[in-house]
Amino acid sequence: MKKIYLYTTLLAAAMTFAACNEDYTDWAAPQSNAQEAQQGAVNGTIAAATDAIDLNAIADGTASVVKFVSAQNATEGSVVKFTKLLLNDSFEVPFTTDGNDLVVSASDLSNALQQCYGSLATTTRECNFKVNADLVNAETTAVLMPIETNEVTIPVKTLTLPAIANEDAYYYVGGYNGWNLSNPTPMTANGDGTYSCVIELAAGSEWFCFAPQSAVTAGDWNSLLRAQKNGDDATSGFFGESAAGNSFCANIEKAGKYKFTISPKDWTYSYASFVESLYYAGDANGWSFSPLVKSGDNFVGYYYVKYADNSNTWGFKFCTDASWDNPQYGAGEGANSIALGGGNIQLAEKDAFYQIVVNTDNNTCYLNEVTSITCVGNHNGWNVADRAQHMTYNVDLKCWELTTTLTNGFKFAINDAWDISWGGANGDPKMYDNLTEFSGKDLDAPEGDGTYLVQLYLGCEGTHKVVLTKK
């Protein structure tokens, strides 16, 4: 971005100004990365230059956003050079200056809002603004000190675009279905205002649009949700306001299933390779393939993970099948992120047993440590936090173990709570080789009351089991 500087003499003494810090209550949460604090920065003070901004009222013009007031410890003769106007602490907004005012155009602020919130929806947002600047000498040849200001909150009304009707159904229309508007591919409502479909595509170019139910019913090609520019090949973006005749174009490098998702209220679309299966492979399991199971939008499994900074370990990956022949997910760029083709993942804080939660739609991976598993039931008054019933993980056998006295009616609970627990699948109290965390049945002692060696093997839904050996 081209930086625009303002040099202005500061004679004011330091002032204290309280920063606005309101929570976002809009349904489209801002997407952001935390701004790194400037080292050794002094405090500057800004004030809102206006009570509110309506981008529609200045659609072809500009508006003053904030006014720079003073900088702490500014000496006579020193001047301020503005470097950044930040929206919600992360997104830079291009600006010009009018005296001490920082001025933005409607288009530049609108673009920043779109990227920040991932939406073109017409609404009013409570936006936080702050300024980064440098205190420089009178000759503007040397930086005396960086300046970071307080935040001010200003309501901003976004540009009003033609509304996309909230319809009962939406469809995929493109090369996949022969551009047949009378028989398009239906999309499934996800319950959050978005719609998705999964289709299998060959390698090559796939051109496509999306159709609301009204367009399908009327056979109206002019009402499709189209690209802003014809042939837009981005994997995500916004629909076009005036896009007659335009279409999206997906460049499919590898044949397979792909998931397409739209959010009509946000004017957004996205698509990505659709993963049907996922396997954990790493040092802790000898780089074999341990399955995870799809639960909602996530793949979930329970496995031992080694700390990747140990000299004899090198992390782990996620494979899309039980082989190394097809794509694997490795480390992404940020914390808890993964990426196709990335290097070995190194997220574990220590050698431990974890609940592994992977989302291949948004490329995230979270490891939630299992600090305890309790064998809980009638034998201990159903006290889920009973330390005497805590099991110990056997790294060699890859199971949780405990020797205890059992009676009919017991389950296994994680981390001294009932958020996750395992019992017999299919309502069977003797389903020892198929435990489930979804309404599992209280288990019976297989040979009546007595002392048992309990060995609990966890992996993923459909593979959990317990082996009970009476002493």
pLDDT of 11 over the 70 cut: no
pLDDT of 299 over the 50 cut: yes
pLDDT of 35 over the 80 cut: no
Q: How far apart are CA 180 and CA 173, in angstroms?
A: 7
pLDDT of 176 over the 50 cut: yes
Which one-letter amino acid corresponds to residue 173?
A: V
- Spatial contact of 28 and 119, defined as CB atoms under 8 Å apart: yes
Distances in Å between the alpha carbon of 328 and those of 323, 340, 359, 367? 9, 6, 13, 18
Q: What is the pLDDT of residue 242?
A: 66
- Spatial contact of 235 and 272, defined as CB atoms under 8 Å apart: yes
Query: pLDDT, tens digit, for every residue of 101-128?
Result: 999 999 999 989 988 988 888 889 999 9
Query: Beta 278-282 vs 290-295: how paired, if at all?
Result: antiparallel
Over residues 217-227, the mean pLDDT reads: 93
All domains of the chain in start order, with CATH: 7-157 (2.60.40.3640), 170-273 (2.60.40.3620), 278-369 (2.60.40), 373-470 (2.60.40)
Which residue is listed with tokens 């602490």?
89
DSSP state, residue 285: G
Q: How confident is the model at residue 15 (pLDDT cuts 50, 70, 90)?
A: very low
pLDDT of 188 over the 70 cut: yes
Classify burial at 95, counting beta carbons within 10 Å of its beta carbon; exposed 0-12, middle 13-18, buried 19 or more: buried
Q: How far apart are CA 203 and CA 253, in angstroms?
A: 5
pLDDT of 320 over the 70 cut: yes
Over residues 263-290, the mean pLDDT reads: 92
Long-range CB pairs of 16-22, under 8 A, 24+ apart, other chains included: 16/45, 17/45, 17/46, 17/47, 17/69, 17/150, 18/150, 19/150, 19/151, 19/152, 20/128, 20/151, 20/152, 20/153, 21/128, 21/151, 21/153, 22/126, 22/128, 22/153
Secondary structure element (H or E) that encloses residue 109, with its range: helix 106-117
pLDDT of 52 over the 50 cut: yes
Q: How confident is the model at residue 177 (pLDDT cuts 50, 70, 90)?
A: very high
Handedness of CA 43, 49, 51, 54 (dihedral sign): negative
Over residues 357-366, the mean pLDDT reads: 92
Q: What is the pLDDT of residue 243?
A: 65
Q: What is the pLDDT of residue 348?
A: 82
